[in-house]
Chains A and B, each alone.
Chain A
Amino acid sequence: MTGTIEAVRGRGLPLPGDDIDTDQIVESRYLKMTTFRGIETFVFESARRAARDGQGLPHPFDDARLAGASILLVGRNFGCGSSREHAPQALYRFGIRAIVGESFGEIFADNCMAIGLPCLPVAASDGRQLQSLCARVPDTELLADIRTGEITAGTQRICFSLAGGRRQRLLDGSWNALNVLLGAKGLIEMRLSELPPIQLAPQKGPQS
């Protein structure tokens, strides 16, 4: 997962609902896994099981018509709650390459950025329209262009409001932060040397 991200192309995967927290995306019991390999198996596990057992509509992640869709279409405050990177990792490994929605949990959006999974905020009405379009016509091809800030869906064009710095980091590849950070070794050490050290105080007597 390295390189520049200039555009994401794919079909839309509508996931209705607001305030979908990261506990719902990957439940806490899977946080005991010490690797991300295979974590996609458990994405939205409870909701998908409930949909299967309830014999209602299939969960979008199990809907055959939407299989292979790679642009997740969500509502408001998606990914709020726990900081678990397991959630973005599971979505990415499931095949999601961009998430479009009204707003996102902040740590979630940062975690997504760190693995090259853009979260693209759109107006609420645009988001809903996009969801219903892709639910009606699952074959619709979407193009999210990071350069222009536009999503093209058939004849529709929708603007997303990605902050300038985030846009830049996707376009120049610095979303993949570690090499960028390590490139400033000298500056880091200079800054750190100005910060107070952390030390265990010399004990006056025996301490429990």
Chain B
Amino acid sequence: MTRTLYDKVFDGHVVRAVAENQYQLAVDLHLVNEVSSPQAFEELVERRIRVAHPERTFACADHSISTGGNVLRFDDAMCEGQIRLLGSNTEANNVTYFDPMKGLHGIIHVLAPEQGLTQPGMVIACGDSHTSTHGAFGSIAFGIGTSQVRDVLASQTLIVEKLKVRRIVVEGELPLGVFAKDVALFIIHRLGAKGGLGYAYEFSGSTISHFSMEERMTLCNMAVEGGARCGYVNPDRTTLDYLRGRPFAPVGSAWEAAAEQWLSIASDSDATWDDEVVLHAEEMRPMVTWGTSPDQSVPVEVPVPNPASAGEEAGSWEAAMEFMGVESGRPIMGTRIDVAFIGSCTNGRLSDLEAVATFLRSTDGRVAPTVRAMIVPGSRAVREAVVAQGLDKLFEERGFELRDAGCSLCCGMNADKLVGPQVCASSSNRNFRGRQGSPTGRTYLMSPVMVAAAALAGKITDARAAHENDKGRAG
């Protein structure tokens, strides 16, 4: 047997080939949100088709939800319309809905793994590009558009191309203050924002096998920012430990059988990959983006690069630098910020917020008076855990606003938005122009701890230095 996980899972879900390298693929789990589903449900009604497999379909509203603390108070009439429509569409079709009105909500990519819905060996589709997150469990998980949402609702299948597989091996121990987010940004920087076109990314190596499930999710979340439709990590003991006892995980003898099967779908050690890249954790540093594409980044202590070194990308680098107001050769450190955002499906999990808390405890700093700092848990469960640990008090004392769960400032679809040319240090995944709700707003991507450090300093700074200063003080 010499097959990758991708081959095994893909081949096990093919219904039939419809054209050269175009397959009708069965979908285990279909996740539905309020943004990409309304037109799909509408077409089903027009064509008098019912949802084929409601028991494999799960929905939640996340993009348009208010994070103000009362989900019943919608941010605007369009948000309300969209969320209510998801409620009625799921009800009419017997689809399980994690209803925000009942406090069950969260970002679907945080919520589904928490519930144990995301399992190894599955094909998972969702009308959202960051569905790649679920690959952390060893599933093939990818984003689709509304027409394909319609296809999956109607048939529990869709037509997809079989991808090539690039194995990305990360070996060694990460330096202190370097997180999974930095690994993701480093990989995208190295391979480019379109480097993954046509590929699924398999992440392996000792660094990744030591990662927690939450770290693996951060990494796979960003695979799509590197151009790969999906990314995955082979299932192992860590995967099993995470899943055991979750609401939708199998139990009893079904668990034993599932666990054995899950471990067996990992890529064979003698499998052949279409491409392979080896990276060393020791080389990695806290990363910060300086541009408008997630591959335009530097280690925090390195100055903004020279577009002349960018070859065919020189033009887009210059345009990005002009938009961001950064200058080649100048340090990225010291860039003043107006907003700090800690959250999103990349970095809105409990471990992310715990890392921020640990960082805050290592200093006695408060959020700079010029900065609005928001912490937005990825789900209600994350929020409740934060409160249970008393972290809400710590965050508040230090000047952070702990909000309700949702996509919040990641996407500009609810009331949380940048205004005018505001500058945001953000733990999310996209620094595109206008992404955070203001056409002239500017986004710098980094790890949650780096965002927290920027919030305290009022400017982009090296979070590791804050630690060291503190050690200095203590000693």
> Measuring CB to CB, which residues of chain A are less than 8 angstroms from any residue of chain B?
17-19, 21, 23-24, 27-29, 31-36, 46, 49-50, 76-77, 80-86, 88-89, 103, 105-107, 110-111, 114-115, 124, 163-166, 168-169, 172, 174, 177-178, 180-182, 184, 187-188, 191-192, 194-202, 207
Please tell me which one of the listed residues B21, B49, B145 contacts residue A84 in the complex, with CB atoms under 8 A apart: B145
Quick check: which of B164-172, B205-213, B392-400, B434-442 contacts chain A, the rest being far away?
A: B434-442
Instruction: Say whether, besides A110-B148, A169-B22, A177-B151, A19 and B293 are in contact (CB < 8 Å).
Output: yes
- Name the contact of A174 in the complex, choosing from B18, B142, B156, B197 (C-beta under 8 A): B18
B413 touches A181 (CB 8 A): no
Give bound CA distance, A81 to B431, whole Å.
10
Residue-wise interface mask of B (18-58) relative to A, using a CB-CB cutoff of 8 A (1 in contact, 0 not): 11111010101100000110110010000101001101100
In the bound complex, CA of A140 to CA of B432 (Å): 33
Knowing A34-B38, A85-B146, A114-B145 touch, does A178 contact B82 (C-beta < 8 A)? no
Q: Which residues of A contact B24 (CB under 8 A)?
A: 180-181, 184, 187-188
| Across-interface contacts of A76 in B (CB, < 8 A) | 194, 312
Q: Could you say which residues of chain A place their CB within 8 Å of the CB of B193?
A: 19, 77, 80
- A-contacting 9-mer, from B248-256, B299-307, B325-333: B248-256
Q: How far is the CA of A34 from the CA of B142 in the complex (A)?
A: 23
| B260 at interface by CB-CB < 8 Å | no
Tell which of A32, A85, A89, A192 touches B53, judged by Cβ atoms closer than 8 Å: A192
Are A28 and B411 within 8 A (Cβ)?
A: yes
B81 at the interface (CB under 8 A from A): yes
Per-residue A-contact encoding for B123-159, CB less than 8 Å = 1, 0 else: 0000111000000000000111111101100111111
B155–A188 touching, CB < 8 Å? yes
Instruction: In the A-B complex, list the 6 residue pairs whose CB atoms are closest, starting with the nearest.
Output: A85-B145, A111-B145, A114-B147, A34-B38, A165-B22, A165-B19
Contact B26 A192 (CB under 8 A): yes
List residues of chain A with CB within 8 A of the CB of B249: 201
| Contact across chains for A164 and B145 when beta carbons are under 8 A apart | no
Question: B residues touching A (Cβ–Cβ < 8 Å)?
Answer: 12-16, 18-22, 24, 26, 28-29, 35-36, 38-39, 42, 47, 49, 52-53, 55-56, 63-64, 76, 78-79, 81-82, 85, 116-117, 119, 127-129, 142-148, 150-151, 154-161, 193-194, 197-198, 227, 229, 246-251, 258, 292-293, 312-313, 315-316, 319, 411-413, 430, 432-435, 437, 439
Which chain A residues border B161 with CB–CB below 8 Å?
Answer: 163, 165
Closest chain B residue to A168, Cβ basis: B19
Question: A195 contacts which chain B residues (CB < 8 A)?
Answer: 13, 26, 28
Measured in the bound complex, the distance between the Cα atoms of B20 and A164 in whole Å is 6
23 A-B residue pairings within 8 Å (CB atoms): A18-B313, A18-B315, A23-B433, A24-B432, A33-B78, A46-B434, A77-B193, A85-B39, A89-B146, A105-B227, A110-B145, A111-B145, A111-B147, A114-B148, A165-B21, A165-B22, A165-B161, A166-B22, A178-B47, A181-B158, A192-B26, A194-B12, A201-B249
Q: Which residues of A contact B47 (CB under 8 A)?
A: 178
Q: A31-B63, A192-B26, A192-B53 are in contact. List 8 more A-B contacts (CB 8 A).
A: A24-B433, A83-B128, A85-B145, A103-B194, A107-B229, A177-B159, A188-B26, A201-B248
Shortest distance between the CB of A116 and any CB in chain B (Å): 10
CA A191 to CA B11, docked complex, whole Å: 11
Cβ-defined partner of B155 (8 Å) among A32, A81, A82, A181:
A181
A residues in contact with B154, CB < 8 Å = 178, 181-182
Please judge, given known A-B contacts A24-B432, A198-B29, A201-B249, whether A88 and B145 are in contact too, CB under 8 Å. yes
Q: Are B156 and A188 closer than 8 Å at their CB atoms?
A: yes
Q: Is the CB of A187 within 8 A of B21?
A: no
CB distance from A21 to the nearest CB of B (A): 5
In the complex, which residue of chain B has the Cβ closest to the Cβ of A187?
A: B15
Contact of B316 among A18, A81, A84 (CB under 8 A): A18
Whether B248 contacts A200 by the Cβ 8 Å rule is yes
With A191-B15, A198-B248, A207-B247: A177-B158 Cβ-Cβ less than 8 Å: yes
B251 / chain A contacts, CB cutoff of 8 Å: 201-202
Is B63 touching A19 in the complex (CB atoms < 8 A)? Answer: no
Q: How far is the CA of A115 from the CA of B39 in the complex (A)?
A: 13
Residues on B with beta carbons closer than 8 Å to the beta carbon of A194: 12
What A residues does B78 contact at CB under 8 A? 32-33
Cross-interface CB contact of B129 among A32, A81, A201, A207, cutoff 8 Å: A81
Least Cβ distance of A169 to chain B in Å? Answer: 5
Contacts of B64 in A (CB 8 A): 32
> A32 near B79 (CB under 8 angstroms)?
yes
B residues in contact with A34, CB < 8 Å: 38-39, 42, 81-82, 85
Min Cβ gap B27→A in Å is: 9
Chain A residues with Cβ under 8 A from B246's Cβ? 201
User: Could you say which of A18, A180, A198, A202 has the most chain B C-beta atoms within 10 Å of its C-beta?
Assistant: A198
In the complex, are the beta carbons of B316 and A17 less than 8 A apart? yes
In the complex, what residues of B have CB within 8 A of residue A88's CB? 145
What CA separation (Å) do A186 and B454 show in the bound complex?
A: 57
Q: Are B312 and A106 in contact (CB under 8 A)?
A: no
Contact of A107 among B14, B38, B85, B145 (CB under 8 A): B145
